[in-house]
Chain A
């Protein structure tokens, strides 16, 4: 099972909660928007990734679990 993290850049408003909750995968650029260096989520981080998805006020964080 693999999980892929994506950001909808149109929906994102740089609240930054995703980077707070998942600093292992998400950092912020100079304007506060999330940078995903590696979209694939290791199994041990999937729980945190789901929390980041739920926490985003604009529903801009997407997790494709298949």
Chain B
């Protein structure tokens, strides 16, 4: 079933036509599924995006129309950068889009470039995502007739290399580290020019809004959170992978979409490693919506959900993650370098049952002091994770101090290992998750 201007009702939207284990979608197949990109005046596109309510999907949740307008208002606009770094270890959605549906992302990037007055698109991808690099390269070749300069650039891996100012820094002089801001990228970015940086999913969503309009976009989701989202679901579920779901979908349905739980749920990590642990009873009552998540102090972040089963030890798993986050500091700002390292050591001691009685309070004080004191938000995201760990697994700290922990390792993904590369485990939304308008 289609709307008057060709948009399909229901799900999948972004992942329409995607077959498990297949090759990147060709330009011809892409056009068969979504139709051609309409010609739309820059200001009309920005207005339509504004009406759609689309927000950035890289983690910052910023209204996309406002970001477009901010750059469009500037003179001598530089490049549009597709930030496909996806350095969140458990996240796989951006790689999936770039590796399998590169034309949808390029459509969005070119539309955004026209909207802000840019003539260049740079797709930045982590160097290990070789399938994505190849797919985008091939997709650019298929579009030789475009009047825009398009290129792919690979960068080193590392948690903070995907941060906006780090991406600009890397483009300008090959240093993948955040810079002291201001200036922000929209003021002075790539080659000193105003630069638009967008997440691949945001651009893919924009490409559909441009085609089918904001009313179509709002057919799914809630009034406050319209549309669909790509969510990477992993941990104690039968079919970890990337799923497209409507905003407003209950968490229980999300876990069912990923094949259901492999064991009773202990807690859910919402938003990846800059995210927040929510204990099982609170988690199942949530919907995939900002208002729900905010009520328990979370945000969807980059769209990662990790289910922790009852057999795992949340304290041990979190201690590993915190050590990882401490190692991933760019090493530039003292509070981040020394603060996160000290916190990681202390949480390790809490998990090992060798911490003093006041260690938890000390970690909380450090967490409060470190927040907001880095050039980028790495320490802020890390301490959010730390604080929720100490809250949700508080009773485990006492158990461990008495020398008891019977849990088995759950092996949360760290570094590049993450979820399997797109193709092997990625599936479209299952029947149970096909919700229509949820309000």
Contact = CB atoms under 8 A, between A and B. Distances in A.
B369 A10 contact: no
Contacts of B366: 29-30
A26 B336 CA distance: 18
B231 to A, nearest CB: 33
A11 interface: yes
Interface in B110-163: none
Interface residues of A, number: 14
B180 A31 contact: no
Contact of A9 (B342, B369, B373): B373
A8 B334 CA distance: 11
Interface in A1-41: 7-14, 29-33, 35
A55 B373 CA distance: 21
Given A29-B369, A30-B366, A33-B373, A9 B335 contact: yes
A65 B336 CA distance: 28
Q: Is the interface of B mostly helix, strand, loop or mixed?
A: helix
B375 interface: yes
Contacts of B179: 10
Contacts of A13: 334
B189 interface: no
B337 to A, nearest CB: 8
Report which residue of A12, A13, A14, A29 has the largest number of chain B beta carbons within 10 angstroms of its beta carbon.
Answer: A29
Interface in B318-333: 332-333
The DSSP consensus for interface residues of chain A is loop
Given A9-B374, A31-B339, A14 B334 contact: yes
Contacts of A10: 179-180, 332-333, 375
A35 B373 contact: yes
Given A9-B374, A10-B375, A11-B180, A33 B342 contact: no
Interface in B210-261: none
Contacts of B342: 30-31
B334 A33 contact: yes
Contacts of A33: 334-335, 338, 373
Contacts of A14: 334
Residue of B180, B334, B339, B366 ringed by the most chain A CB atoms within 10 A: B334
A8 B338 contact: no
Contacts of B375: 8-10
Interface of B: 179-180, 332-336, 338-339, 342, 366, 369-370, 373-375
Given A9-B332, A31-B338, 15 more contacts: A8-B180, A9-B333, A9-B335, A9-B373, A9-B375, A10-B179, A10-B375, A12-B333, A29-B335, A29-B369, A29-B370, A31-B334, A31-B339, A33-B373, A35-B373
25 contacts: A7-B373, A8-B180, A8-B375, A9-B332, A9-B334, A9-B336, A9-B373, A9-B374, A10-B332, A10-B375, A11-B180, A12-B333, A14-B334, A29-B335, A29-B339, A29-B366, A30-B366, A31-B334, A31-B335, A31-B338, A31-B342, A33-B334, A33-B335, A33-B373, A35-B369
